[in-house]
Amino acid sequence: MTYQEAIEQIYRSTKKLKEKGKPAAYIPELSQIDPSKFGVHICPLKEPSFGIGDYQTRFSIQSIAKVFSLSLAYKLKGEKIWERVGVEPSGTKFNSLVQLESDNGIPRNPFINAGALVIADILVSGLKNPKAELLEFVKSMSPSDNISYSPVVEASEKSVGYRNVALCNFLKSLGNIENQPEEVLDFYFTLCSLETDCQTLSSLFLPLAYDGIAPHSNEKIIPNSYSKRINAIMQTCGFYDESGEFAFRVGLPGKSGVGGGIAAVHPDKYSIAVWSPGLNTKGNSYKGMKFLEEFTTLTELSIF
Amino acid sequence: MTYQEAIEQIYRSTKKLKEKGKPAAYIPELSQIDPSKFGVHICPLKEPSFGIGDYQTRFSIQSIAKVFSLSLAYKLKGEKIWERVGVEPSGTKFNSLVQLESDNGIPRNPFINAGALVIADILVSGLKNPKAELLEFVKSMSPSDNISYSPVVEASEKSVGYRNVALCNFLKSLGNIENQPEEVLDFYFTLCSLETDCQTLSSLFLPLAYDGIAPHSNEKIIPNSYSKRINAIMQTCGFYDESGEFAFRVGLPGKSGVGGGIAAVHPDKYSIAVWSPGLNTKGNSYKGMKFLEEFTTLTELSIF
Amino acid sequence: MTYQEAIEQIYRSTKKLKEKGKPAAYIPELSQIDPSKFGVHICPLKEPSFGIGDYQTRFSIQSIAKVFSLSLAYKLKGEKIWERVGVEPSGTKFNSLVQLESDNGIPRNPFINAGALVIADILVSGLKNPKAELLEFVKSMSPSDNISYSPVVEASEKSVGYRNVALCNFLKSLGNIENQPEEVLDFYFTLCSLETDCQTLSSLFLPLAYDGIAPHSNEKIIPNSYSKRINAIMQTCGFYDESGEFAFRVGLPGKSGVGGGIAAVHPDKYSIAVWSPGLNTKGNSYKGMKFLEEFTTLTELSIF
Amino acid sequence: MTYQEAIEQIYRSTKKLKEKGKPAAYIPELSQIDPSKFGVHICPLKEPSFGIGDYQTRFSIQSIAKVFSLSLAYKLKGEKIWERVGVEPSGTKFNSLVQLESDNGIPRNPFINAGALVIADILVSGLKNPKAELLEFVKSMSPSDNISYSPVVEASEKSVGYRNVALCNFLKSLGNIENQPEEVLDFYFTLCSLETDCQTLSSLFLPLAYDGIAPHSNEKIIPNSYSKRINAIMQTCGFYDESGEFAFRVGLPGKSGVGGGIAAVHPDKYSIAVWSPGLNTKGNSYKGMKFLEEFTTLTELSIF
């Protein structure tokens, strides 16, 4: 069975599921998305790419963008970034302030909000024009340039982002933010507003399945060892408080966003992006999780 | 470079490291081990097995035994066991009582002590003679039967095991232990007293690298999907509060014990066991971690 | 208005309240008490004693007994006891294990279960016959000797006391229990089984209102400064996670038990005991709290 | 022995103590205070007022001001304020974010920073000109008007107040702040910048010792029951994580500030203010605590 055949079969059965979760309600802009949207796109290394459903409709990738900011900060600063953020699963909600207090301001990993804010601070310190340079870096990973910031989503997030303001100021009080919180938050909210479609998103993750190389240009985006380590962090920390569940059921490194997107990679085999806006109770795409679980079961290909 | 060549080279350089951690001090029996012991044994699926150093010296495998009790409970009861224990990393120390309170008595995963006690309770309920049947199950995985319980270690642990007594009674008070705590604890302390050497230990993990099949007998020990899922849990939860670090540096599913042993698998490729009694500050074998990090770096073979 | 008049008036109005809480359900023996029982008895220093309702019916005083064990341990060992237990409110449930972990085994105060277990350990170490000597000490405070241990209640508590077993073993593992947990728990469960009636209970608290002196014998039970300090601890910690509420509404130092009893003192004025088995959601007597709130409001006599 | 004699004697012995704590370092402006400053002033209801040492030197009263904002909010809104803030001791640091998360945004009491921010929000909502009206209310309690905001201290606090910004935004995200965080924080920082001397401060607390009445004007500042309840909260929550210790050693309702001031009351007897900038490890005035402990011991007058 080819990837395409497996995807077609599972897409049909998953599409029919009555239960489909609920779109994120806390950001006004996201709550208005049509919950019946559902798209999948795969970029295999040795087979043709393939997409189905709404795979060319743009959506807000939200926290998936944290993989890009981490990659760029890692590339810029090397292993020194791990002095300011850990690589351990958090065991608590993605936006928890509790652990920070006991961990003296070192966020558990770069994918919880606190960790992503520290990574944002590193980029604000290290780049002249953080927003433009991050976007340029992202675009270098893929032949497509169908990705951009959404001022509307950014404004929507800022209007209700009190908890992130709290997190960033808390980190500042604990000594783990160098810049003014306003500046870091501005970059962070912009980062999380990135929009693209499944087709582009899966291509953006392909370097992580290919030892850090972007196949379309043969350019080394990040070193091989960085690529492996980012995959390891995605495996243990990529799905908020459901990372273990995702490893257990799907068995691939990946990252989800509250916009309903999930990007995952099977090293040396493929990258894949799924989008369905309805979320389960842990904040991950309901149908996206189901689809990927069926996919690795049917193809008998998880990394385990 | 063959596995043997890589192991020989890294064994020599790791052996020379001055820093070697400290043997576990909390159990009287373990604190007396010679900290210079160091052994490695690999069981590749397609190459000959190979051992080096003290790979035929028996040691206390401690928490590594939790992989065996989990496997047997999973085999016995199927997916129902996940109603009583989770699959998420804990984010706290291996013997923490804190999280239990907020999680209503459902331990985060089967490898923290609380979770292993629930698994022990399941086996005490489900087996006529839990100790004998568990040992029989373990022996079915390997051609070697060089593994047994150590009454001395068991007695040593019982003499200081107040925290585990606390955990088990706490779980009982929260309704997640069916049997009397004394009975569950007795089985648990016996389980953790299992002794074997690297050679046997690596062979006992081979079914987890081979879709649940024991190659020496071609017997299906556990279903393929169970094997993959146990690997996923080892990946996210196998190294206490250092599981993310192990995924990050080594990139293999594995399980450590405070006796200084580590067993790990590369699915479809090999199983490996390392033993060096000195522990790092997180309770994992100092040289064992170093060795495996170098090994997957040199062979460029992590699952990521 | 005399105390008697105030008590008669408030007893009648409180008796009529439909809402009356629920008797403690976790101890089989306590759950069978008639929830309509309601008694009050006051021992003023300068007016005659007075009782109303079921003030001569015996009930299980439970945690109120912790005031007696604390008084005896304080008398025996002096200020040294504060090296092993604090005097701060806990901010968490009475039987929480969480705080102990962050406080390195020093319970916040002697009235949470953990603290009472440490006090029990001090008495087990310091007395030849702890149960008999504690009872003798208690009886010295009052002209009545209508107080005794209840083997039935003790057995009932032991049959379900897993959480206290957990707490005591946890404290032992943290180094703050000298004796074997079984021995400490045996004394603790016996202590909590003390039974008496409101008449005797109020007389037992009179020394705390009278600078440590038992008026009937003029004997100095404990030094004046100890008496003041025990009152201070009752004020800040006597009502589990509702201590602030009791100070706020009633404004007297006091101690409650899950048997539905409350004993309180107004220094230099009176001691009072109330009993109604129905508990509010925080585990304190529903009608007892109401009665005392009305009483200090009507007499305009709180310590504040 | 008169209050004056007791104060003179204890002032001399406490003044000599070599240990004197360290002034608060986290606010630049406070860290520059001369640590040898030491003043005391008492306002008895039935004896003449008396001051000693630096009792007429102004200092930053910091958190002591929270008693005034609470009094005014309580007067304005009555018992409804307790829907938004509790009356229980917190058991954690004064600026902890942890408890808020588990308590769903209802701060434990009005004296931890989170609770004071909620009270500030109530005043910002309920007053036309919060800063001016609060100051007017404060001045009505005392014949002296020697109290004012310090723009320098306010600016100093704002420059490092990241944790309070975090707290306020966190409360907003949890739904317990009505106004924009910036507005609430601006009022809060101004409130905490209040400056006065021991003479005025003790007179400002006299109504709390006199059933809510300001003796100089015979004006009812707040109802008697409010006064008693504010005293109860000061007793259980007035000294951060050392409230139990203060009740235990001193035995009076009171409130401390990181400027080194302490104000306390003995209901129906006196109000007293002490100032010494050096703080103990819990953030309370080292010599202030010592002085008051000696004072209630020597006069044998605590509320217990």
Scanning the structure block, which residue is given the tokens 């962070």? Answer: A188
Please give the mean pLDDT across all residues of chain D.
93
- Rounded distance, CA C288 to CA C286, Å? 5
- DSSP 8-state assignment for residue C180: -
- Catalytic residue, chosen from A74, A210, A240, A270, is A240
- DSSP 8-state assignment for residue D17: -
- Rounded distance, CA A248 to CA B232, Å? 5
pLDDT (0 to 100) of residue B102? 64
Of C286, C289, C240, whose CA–CA distance to C263 is shortest?
Answer: C289
Phi-psi region of A261 (alpha: psi -120 to 50; beta: other; left: phi over 0): beta
Q: Which residues of B touch C163 (CB under 8 A)?
A: 169-170, 173
Residue of B nearest to A110 (CA): B244
pLDDT of A145 above 90: yes
Of D77, D161, D157, D172, whose CA–CA distance to D125 is shortest?
Answer: D77
* List of residues 6+ apart from B78 with CB closer than 8 A: none
* Chain C CB within 8 Å of residue B166 CB: yes
CB contact under 8 A, B297 and A225: yes
Per-domain residue ranges for chain B? 3-298
Across-strand partners of C263? C255, C273
Three-state SS at B42: strand
- Rounded distance, CA B126 to CA B129, Å? 9
CB contact under 8 A, D247 and C235: yes
pLDDT of A95 above 90: no
- Rounded distance, CA C285 to CA C291, Å? 10
pLDDT (0 to 100) of residue B208? 98
Q: Which residues of C touch B166 (CB under 8 A)?
A: 97, 165-170, 173
Residue of A nearest to B93 (CA): A91
pLDDT (0 to 100) of residue A72? 98
- Catalytic residue, chosen from A3, A55, A188, A226, is A188
Mean predicted confidence (pLDDT) in A204-217: 97
Of D46, D45, D39, whose CA–CA distance to D7 is shortest?
Answer: D39
- Asked about B118 being catalytic, the answer comes back as no
pLDDT (0 to 100) of residue C98? 64
- What does the pLDDT look like over C187-224, one tens digit per residue? 999 999 999 999 999 999 999 999 999 999 999 999 99
- What does the pLDDT look like over A244-275, one tens digit per residue? 899 999 999 999 999 999 999 999 999 999 99
pLDDT (0 to 100) of residue D234? 96
- Rounded distance, CA C65 to CA B204, Å? 55
pLDDT of C230 above 90: yes
* Chain B CB within 8 Å of residue A121 CB: no
The neighbours of chain A, by the rule of 3 or more Cβ pairs under 8 Å, are: B, D
pLDDT (0 to 100) of residue C28? 79
Tell me the pLDDT band of D186, cut-offs 50, 70 and 90.
very high
- Rounded distance, CA B12 to CA B287, Å? 11
Q: Per the annotation, does B129 bind a ligand?
A: no
Q: Per the annotation, does A164 bind a ligand?
A: yes
Q: Per the annotation, does D162 bind a ligand?
A: no
Nearest 5°: CA angle at D237, between D236 and D242? 95
pLDDT of A301 above 80: no
- What does the pLDDT look like over B25-42, one tens digit per residue? 877 788 888 999 999 999
Q: Which residues of D touch A98 (CB under 8 A)?
A: 97-98, 101
Scanning the structure block, which residue is given the tokens 């009932």? Answer: C156
- Asked about D188 being catalytic, the answer comes back as yes
- Rounded distance, CA C289 to CA C301, Å? 16
What contacts 24+ positions apart, CB below 8 Å, involve A128-132?
A130/A187, A131/A187, A131/A190, A131/A191
pLDDT of B233 above 70: yes
* Chain D CB within 8 Å of residue A98 CB: yes
- What does the pLDDT look like over B193-206, one tens digit per residue? 999 999 999 999 99
Q: Which residues of C touch D108 (CB under 8 A)?
A: 91, 244
CB contact under 8 A, D302 and C228: yes
- What does the pLDDT look like over B270-282, one tens digit per residue? 999 999 999 998 8
pLDDT (0 to 100) of residue C226? 96
Helix and strand numbers (H, E) in chain B are: 12, 9
Interface test with B, best of C97, C159, C189 (most B CBs within 10 A): C97
**Which residue type occupies C165?**
V
Would you give the end-to-end CA distance of chain B in angstroms? 20
- Rounded distance, CA D276 to CA D34, Å? 9
pLDDT (0 to 100) of residue C222? 97
* Chain C CB within 8 Å of residue B61 CB: no
* Chain D CB within 8 Å of residue A165 CB: yes
Of A162, A163, A173, the CB nearest to D162: A173
Between helix A130-139 and helix A65-77 the angle, nearest 10°, is: 100
D3-298 has which fold?
Beta-lactamase (3.40.710)
- Asked about D66 being catalytic, the answer comes back as yes
pLDDT (0 to 100) of residue B300? 77
Interface test with C, best of B92, B97, B103, B160 (most C CBs within 10 A): B97
Residue D56: CB atoms within 10 Å: 13
CB contact under 8 A, D173 and A163: yes
Out of A139-148, B230-239, C3-12, D103-112, pick the least confident.
D103-112
CB contact under 8 A, B87 and A251: no
Strand (E) or helix (H) holding C44: strand C39-44
Of A265, A120, A112, A281, whose CA–CA distance to A203 is shortest?
Answer: A265
pLDDT of B56 above 60: yes
Q: Which residues of D touch C90 (CB under 8 A)?
A: 91
Q: Which residues of A touch D170 (CB under 8 A)?
A: 97, 162-163, 166, 170
* Chain B CB within 8 Å of residue C87 CB: no
* Chain D CB within 8 Å of residue C244 CB: yes
pLDDT (0 to 100) of residue D101? 66
Q: Per the annotation, does A188 bind a ligand?
A: yes
- Rounded distance, CA C23 to CA D24, Å? 49
Closest approach of chain B CAs to the CA of C24, in angstroms?
16
Tell me the pLDDT band of D41, cut-offs 50, 70 and 90.
very high
Q: Which residue did the predictor score with more confidence, D31 or A143?
A: A143
Q: Which residue did the predictor score with more confidence, D29 or C94?
A: D29
Whether ipTM > 0.95 holds is no
Three-state SS at C299: coil
CB contact under 8 A, C297 and D225: yes
- What does the pLDDT look like over C278-303, one tens digit per residue? 999 888 999 999 999 999 999 877 88
- What does the pLDDT look like over D4-16, one tens digit per residue? 999 999 999 999 9
- Asked about B240 being catalytic, the answer comes back as yes
- Rounded distance, CA B226 to CA C66, Å? 51
- What does the pLDDT look like over C113-147, one tens digit per residue? 999 999 999 999 999 999 999 999 999 999 999 99
* List of residues 6+ apart from A18 with CB closer than 8 A: none
- Catalytic residue, chosen from C11, C20, C55, C63, is C63
- What does the pLDDT look like over B77-125, one tens digit per residue? 999 999 999 998 876 655 566 667 667 899 999 999 999 999 999 999 9
CB contact under 8 A, C244 and D232: yes
Of B173, B114, B161, B25, whose CA–CA distance to C172 is shortest?
Answer: B161
